[in-house]
């Protein structure tokens, strides 16, 4: 089933100033990797020991994050061996990523040519994102 | 589940000053406990009482179920690193490990050597010539290679540069991941504690200000911002920890039992650092501890 | 704990016992020569009874090595300052006691092993040095007229001094918790105690002998046990009948350096013994030839006056037969002091540090 050589595929990092708790950052990074197709079924997540040694974070934090991912059905723990991906989040929409990336790149180039700096671009994106999400809910 | 540290009305007096007063704590086992507070808050006093280097003036303390005593059994279950990581300057690293083996029946020499090699220490280097970060790592290795049930570390990273701090915490966390032990770690820097601790004790003015599991504390405190208001008009379940007012606006840090429903407030979650700062500024307002009931003026 | 104490102590021990070994070699080489010299020069002259020249010649040999006696006097102080004072003070000052007391060794055991190992080494060092010096010096000591002057640097007392100095240093270190201060205090207190014991306690370790004789006579002449050469004369006091001390060494002190036995006319036909009182007896009209010796009649009157006023010479001394008992008593005193200080250290440790 797992044809890779058993080394963990992704590495975690923690942003101390993001305002998001460490365990949530780990959950988000795993979900992100699953969505972007960086992690496939059968890939092994970093062991608790590896994550802890790299991040200097409480082992319970990593355990809690893995437990939540397991609860969501995304990973499964095999005692004594490690934690492995059981399901990805990328499915069909992954195919659309390529063209979407290109479009986004063109839009960004346009925005820069119009004179927007990075902050304005981000603010503009967030604003549109939020209002379209609100419309979606309504 | 017996508490790993249980204190009841614990106090220590020097002359007329109470370095620690009225300390009551129940620290559950298996946690990494952060003991936070400004210098002079009583953190070192509490830790030295826990290890048996000091005797209480008032109250009691039990560690791992027994009063801190001067017997081999109790001493062997607790690993301690004192402030400024005291080591013998003339003895090389390898001799410090030998010292550990001579003085501790449950010494794990193989693990100690492995850890020393892992952090890159030269066994022949004298301890006096090590950098601050290397001393901290050697002291930590000495404390944990005797397989204690509890590790007590007094400001181990206070004088270290950020890289050394990170490396020390990496070593400490991998030790916690490997063995089942409790850690009590004191510091006056909150930033590192946020990723490492799951239980918090805030000390200021010789007293414990607040103690509890980190997630529960974060869930129970909120910052409220809104139009100017007298804090005494808040509903009963909300205790104001810190308040600041402008002419038109009030910002409060409150401890609340349940959700805050008043629409006038903007409710935000707090970071651990903000929580600690709120309790420390409250302590500063209340004044120093004198061991007696304070008189309201 | 023994291994740790040895590891911390081994540099100092190596230096000290290495030096001791060098001294041993030197003494072993030169010792037999002294014995040989004694055999060929002193023993024959003792039969003849005129050994003073040979004795002087012998005593001037190897004067540098004789200086080892002085070394033996200061070694206990050095031990107290360099082995005793830093033993606890350094750990307390640098904070390493926090490391030592949180291993699996109780504090009492920690202290007991440190005191025991280094204390034993201290006593052994002083003892071995004293043994070697006493052995090497025995030919010289046999011709020495004053064995009591070398009391501090022979025999068994150096062991007591070393034990006391060590215990004193450890106690100072425990109380002061600063190495340099403890070293200074140890040196001063040790010196004061040694001097005090030598001046005020040693003369009374055994009851000294007293000889009372009339002023001006040869002390002890005619008494059953006069002081011999080699006895330690502690004091030779001139006393009035009431017991008041008015002079030393067969004379009367008159202040501002004046000293002697002076008689002077009193103007009413009587003569007074200066510093004592009026002579009850009559004196001849003429003292004697001017500027010369007093006449025989005058001397007889003077003797009678002294006898009737009750002025006497009191000689206090320790005979050489008391030498070794005094050594053991002084050893006992210093050992007892060392034990008291050691006990105090244990009590202090228990009280002050939980």
**Degrees (nearest 5) of the Cα angle C301, C304, C310?**
145
Best C86, C97, C104 residue to mutate vs chain B (most B CBs within 10 Å): C104
Residue B174: C-alpha distances to residues A50, B177, C259 (Å) = 8, 5, 90
Question: Can you tell me the distance from the alpha carbon of C22 to that of C19, in angstroms, rounded to the nearest whole number?
Answer: 5
Question: Would you list which residues of chain B are within 8 Å, Cβ to Cβ, of chain C?
Answer: 51-55, 68, 70-73, 75-76, 78-80, 82, 84, 86-89, 91, 95, 98-100, 102-106, 139, 142, 146
A49–chain B Cβ distance below 8 A for any pair: yes
User: Cβ contact (<8 Å) for C104 and B75?
Assistant: yes
CB within 8 Å of B28: residues ≥ 6 apart: B1, B3, B4, B199
Which subunits count as partners of chain C given 3+ CB pairs below 8 Å? B
The tokens describing B66, both together, are: 């027994």
Arithmetic mean of pLDDT, A123-130: 87
Within 8 A by CB and 6+ apart from A38, the residues are A9, A10
Mutate to test the interface with B, among C98, C114, C348 (most CBs of B within 10 A): C98
* Chain B CB contacts of A21 below 8 Å: 218
Angle made by CA atoms C55, C60, C63, in degrees to the nearest 5: 140
Tell me whether residues C104 and B54 touch, CB distance under 8 A.
no
Higher pLDDT, C255 or B171: B171
pLDDT confidence of residue C167: 97
> Which residues have a Cβ under 8 Å from the Cβ of B195 and sit 6 or more positions away?
A14, A16, A22, A55, A56, A57, A58, A61, B169
Are the beta carbons of B103 and C354 separated by less than 8 Å?
A: no
Report yes or no: A18 at the B interface, CB cutoff 8 Å. Answer: no
| Chain B CB within 8 Å of residue A136 CB | no
Cα–Cα distance for residue pair B154/C266, rounded to 1 Å: 90
* Interchain touch C–A (≥3 Cβ pairs closer than 8 Å): no
Q: With a threshold of 0.90, does the pTM exceed it?
A: no
Please give the pLDDT value at position B295: 37
Query: What confidence tens digit (pLDDT) does each residue in C60-78 have?
Result: 777 777 788 888 999 999 9
**Average pLDDT for B215-237:** 85
Q: Which residues of B touch C94 (CB under 8 A)?
A: 86, 89
Those residues whose C-beta lies under 8 Å from the C-beta of residue C123, and which sit 6 or more positions away, are C159, C162, C163, C166
Residues 115-134 of C with CB under 8 A from B: none
pLDDT tens digits for range B38-84: 888 889 999 999 998 988 999 999 999 888 877 888 888 999 999 88
Residue range B196-215: mean pLDDT, rounded: 91
Judging contacts by C-beta atoms under 8 Å, the chain B residues touching residue A60 are 32, 198
> ipTM of the assembly?
0.86
Q: Pick the more confident residue, A1 or C315.
A: C315
Name the residue in chain B with its Cα closest to that of C93.
Answer: B86
How many beta-carbon pairs below 8 A join chains A and B?
A: 50
Reported confidence tier of residue B113, pLDDT bands at 50, 70, 90: very high
pLDDT at C195: 95
Q: How many other C-beta atoms lie within 10 A of the C-beta of residue C105?
A: 21
Residue pair B34/B193 in contact (Cβ under 8 Å)? The answer is: yes
Q: What is the distance in angstroms between the Cα of B283 and the nearest Cα belonging to chain A?
A: 25
**Could you write out the DSSP letters of every residue in C233-255?**
EEEEEEE-TT--EEEETTSEEEE
- How does the average pLDDT of chain A come out, rounded? 82
Asked if pLDDT for residue A3 goes beyond 80, the answer is: no
- Chain A hits for B170, CB-CB cut-off 8 Å, are 52-56
| Percentages (nearest 5) of helix, strand, coil residues in chain B | 35, 30, 35
Q: Count other Cβ atoms within 10 Å, centred on residue B227.
A: 9
Closest alpha carbon within chain A to B270: A19
Whether A13 has its CB under 8 Å from any CB of chain B: the answer is no
Q: What is the mean pLDDT of residues B246-259?
A: 84
**For residue B89, which residues of chain C lie inside 8 Å, CB to CB?**
94
Q: How confident is the model at residue B27 (pLDDT cuts 50, 70, 90)?
A: very high
Contacts of B196 in chain A (CB under 8 A): 56-58
Query: In the 3-class helix/strand/coil scheme, how is B183-245 assigned residue by residue?
Result: EEEEECCCHHHHHHCCEEEEEECCEEEEEEEHHHHHHHEEEEEEECCCHHHCCCCEEEEEEEE
pLDDT at residue C91, rounded to an integer = 94
* Confidence (pLDDT) at C288: 64
Burial code of B100-137, b = ≥16 C-beta within 10 A, e = fewer?
bebbbeebbeebbeebbeebebeeeebbeebebbbbbb
**Measured between alpha carbons, how far is B249 from B226 in angstroms, rounded to an integer?**
6
Q: In the structure encoding, which two tokens stand for residue B56, read together? A: 């209480």
How far apart, in whole angstroms, are the C-alpha atoms of residue C163 and residue C118?
10
* Residue in chain A nearest B169 by alpha carbon: A56
Work out the pLDDT band at B293, boundaries 50, 70, 90: very low
On the question of pLDDT at B93 being above 70, the answer is: yes
Cα–Cα distance list, C214 to A37, A61, B116, C233, C293 (Å): 124, 103, 86, 18, 21
Nearest CA in chain B to A51: B174
Put simply, the answer to whether A58 touches B170 (Cβ < 8 Å) is no
Residues of chain C with pLDDT under 70: 216-226, 285-292, 353-354
Closest B-chain CA to A50: B174
Q: Are B63 and B2 in contact (CB under 8 A)?
A: no
> What are the residues of chain B with a beta carbon less than 8 Å away from any beta carbon of chain A?
32, 166, 169-170, 172-174, 176-178, 191-192, 194-198, 218, 271
What mean pLDDT, rounded, does chain C reach? 85
A58 or B69: whose pLDDT is higher? A58
pLDDT at B285 over 90: no
As a whole number of angstroms, the distance between CA A44 and CA A85 comes to 6
On chain B, the residues whose CB falls within 8 A of the CB of A53 are 170, 173-174, 177
Q: What is the rounded distance in angstroms from the CA atom of residue B164 to the CA atom of residue C219?
A: 85
Minimal-distance CA residue of chain B relative to C91: B88
Determine whether the interchain pair B72/C95 forms a contact, defined as Cβ–Cβ distance below 8 Å.
Answer: no
DSSP H or E stretch at residue C61: none
Which of A14, A19, A48 is opposite residue B177, by nearest beta carbon? A48
C1 touches chain B (CB under 8 A): yes
pLDDT at B60: 92
CA B287, distance to chain mean position in Å, is 22
- Is a pLDDT exceeding 50 seen at residue B296? no
The DSSP letter of residue B153 is E
């Amino acid at each position: 089933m797992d044809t890779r050589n058993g080394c963990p595929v992704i590495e975690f990092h923690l942003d101390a100033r993001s305002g998001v708790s460490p365990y949530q950052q780990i959950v988000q990074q795993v979900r992100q990797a699953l969505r972007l197709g960086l992690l496939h079924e059968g890939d092994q997540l970093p062991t608790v020991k590896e994550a802890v040694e790299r991040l200097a974070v409480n082992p319970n934090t990593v355990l809690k994050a893995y437990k939540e991912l397991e609860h969501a059905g995304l990973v499964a723990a095999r005692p004594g061996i490690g934690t492995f991906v059981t399901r990805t989040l990328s499915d069909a929409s992954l195919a659309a990523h390529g063209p979407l990336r290109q479009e986004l790149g063109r839009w960004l180039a346009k925005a820069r040519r119009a004179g927007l700096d990075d902050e304005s671009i981000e603010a503009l994106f967030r604003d549109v994102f939020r209002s379209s999400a609100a419309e979606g809910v309504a | 589940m017996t508490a790993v540290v249980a204190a009841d009305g614990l106090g220590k007096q020097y002359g007329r000053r109470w370095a620690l007063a009225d300390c009551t704590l129940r620290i559950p086992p298996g946690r990494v406990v952060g003991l936070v507070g400004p210098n002079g808050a009583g953190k070192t006093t509490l830790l030295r009482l826990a290890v048996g280097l000091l005797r209480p003036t008032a109250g009691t303390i039990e560690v791992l179920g027994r009063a801190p005593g001067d017997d081999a059994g109790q001493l062997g279950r607790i690993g301690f690193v004192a402030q400024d990581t005291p080591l013998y300057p003339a003895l090389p690293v390898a001799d410090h490990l030998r010292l550990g083996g001579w003085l501790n029946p449950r010494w794990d020499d193989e693990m100690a050597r492995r850890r020393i090699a892992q952090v890159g220490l030269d066994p022949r280097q004298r301890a006096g010539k090590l950098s601050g970060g290397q001393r901290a790592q050697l002291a930590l290795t000495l404390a944990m290679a005797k397989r204690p049930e509890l590790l007590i570390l007094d400001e181990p990273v206070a004088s270290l540069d950020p890289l050394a701090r990170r490396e020390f915490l990496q070593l400490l966390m991998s030790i916690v991941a490997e063995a089942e032990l409790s850690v009590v770690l004191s510091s006056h820097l909150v930033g590192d504690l946020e990723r490492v601790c799951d239980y918090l004790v805030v000390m200021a003015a010789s007293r414990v200000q607040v103690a509890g599991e980190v997630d529960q504390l974060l869930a129970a405190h909120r910052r409220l911002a809104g139009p100017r208001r007298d804090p005494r008009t808040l509903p009963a379940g909300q205790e104001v920890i810190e308040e600041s007012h402008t002419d038109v606006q009030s910002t409060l840090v409150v401890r609340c039992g349940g959700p805050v429903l008043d629409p006038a407030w903007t409710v935000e979650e707090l970071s651990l650092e903000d929580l600690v700062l709120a309790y420390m500024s409250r302590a500063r307002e209340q004044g120093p501890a004198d061991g007696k009931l304070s008189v309201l003026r | 704990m023994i291994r740790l104490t040895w590891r911390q102590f081994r540099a100092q021990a190596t230096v000290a016992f290495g030096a001791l070994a060098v001294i041993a070699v030197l003494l072993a080489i030169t010792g037999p020569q002294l014995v040989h010299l004694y055999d060929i020069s002193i023993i024959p002259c003792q039969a003849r009874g005129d050994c003073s020249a040979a004795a002087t010649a012998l005593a001037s040999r190897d004067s540098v090595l004789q200086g080892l006696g002085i070394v033996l006097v200061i070694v206990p102080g050095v031990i107290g300052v360099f082995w005793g004072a830093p033993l606890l003070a350094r750990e307390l000052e640098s904070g390493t006691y926090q490391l030592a007391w949180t291993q699996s060794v109780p504090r009492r055991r920690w202290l007991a092993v440190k005191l025991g190992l280094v204390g034993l080494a201290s006593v052994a060092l002083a003892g071995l040095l004293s043994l070697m010096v006493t052995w090497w010096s025995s030919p010289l000591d046999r011709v020495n007229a004053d064995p009591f002057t070398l009391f501090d640097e022979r025999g068994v007392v150096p062991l007591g001094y070393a034990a006391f100095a060590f215990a004193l240093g450890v106690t100072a270190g425990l109380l002061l918790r600063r190495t340099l201060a403890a070293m200074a205090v140890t040196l001063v207190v040790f010196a004061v105690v040694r001097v005090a014991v030598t001046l005020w306690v040693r003369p009374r370790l055994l009851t000294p002998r007293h000889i009372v004789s009339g002023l001006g006579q040869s002390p002890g002449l005619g008494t059953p046990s006069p002081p011999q050469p080699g006895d330690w004369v502690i004091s030779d006091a001139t006393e009035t009948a009431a017991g008041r001390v008015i002079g030393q060494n067969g004379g009367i002190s008159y202040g501002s350096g004046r000293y002697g036995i002076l008689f002077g006319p009193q103007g009413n036909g009587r003569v007074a013994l200066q510093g004592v009182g009026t002579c009850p007896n009559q004196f001849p009209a003429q003292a004697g030839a001017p500027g010369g010796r007093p006449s025989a009649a005058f001397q007889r009157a003077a003797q009678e006056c002294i006898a009737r006023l009750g002025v006497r010479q009191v000689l206090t001394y320790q005979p050489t037969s008391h030498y070794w008992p005094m050594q053991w008593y002084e050893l006992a005193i210093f050992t007892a002091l060392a034990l008291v200080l050691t006990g105090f250290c244990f009590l202090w440790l228990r009280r002050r540090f939980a």
